[in-house]
Amino acid sequence: MEINMTFLGQMISFAILVWFTTKFIWPQLNGAIEERQKKVAEGLAAAERARAELKDADAKVAAEIKQARVQSTEIIDKAQAQANAIVEKARVEAIDEINRLKAQAQDEIASMAQRAREQLREQVGALAIQGAEKIVQREIDPAAHKALLDQLAAEI
């Protein structure tokens, strides 16, 4: 194999091309590749962080939901207790009012019975006077004998 000038020129041209490529083009390509690798690695790391943050956020949301459920249960229980207390208070007040009205009615009935007895005594006293008047055949003075008539009415 004979090395001729064309082949030698091609080898020198190729060597210059390789030198130029390694000197000027390869560092830029290598820098771009490394930069792209860094961006991909940062993107993957960011995705992992986001996944971890999402997991933490899901855990926080679950904890908040659980706490909200507990609080809502407590609020419902308190409201139920207040409602029961209000119903019980109203029931006690109604019973007190019924007892008060019953006592008032009993007092009124006793008062009316007392008045009826007094009216009956007066009527009996008047009838006794009329009966005695007929028996004695003379009129008895009610003013003069009031004490006697009151005693008679009390005995009746």
pLDDT, tens only, 71-97:
999 999 999 999 999 999 999 999 999
Answer yes or no: is 11 within a domain: no
Answer yes or no: is 23 within a domain: no
In this structure, which amino acid lies at residue 142?
Answer: P
Number of structural domains the chain divides into: 1
Which residues lie closer than 8 Å to 124 by C-beta, 6 or more apart? Answer: 153, 156
Answer yes or no: is 109 within a domain: yes
Nearest to 36 by CA among 28, 24, 49: 28
Q: Residue range 123-143: average pLDDT?
A: 69
Answer yes or no: is 147 within a domain: yes
Answer yes or no: is 1 within a domain: no
Q: In the numeric block, which tokens belong to residue 69?
A: 């459920």
pLDDT at 138 over 70: no
Answer yes or no: is 49 within a domain: yes
Range of the domain at 123: 38-155
Answer yes or no: is 52 within a domain: yes
Confidence at residue 95, expressed as pLDDT on a 0 to 100 scale: 94
Q: Residue range 28-50: average pLDDT?
A: 93
Which pTM does this prediction carry? Answer: 0.44
Which segment, 22-26, 118-122, 150-154, is predicted with the most confidence on average?
22-26
Q: What is the rounded CA–CA span in Å between residue 1 and residue 3?
A: 6
Answer yes or no: is 84 within a domain: yes
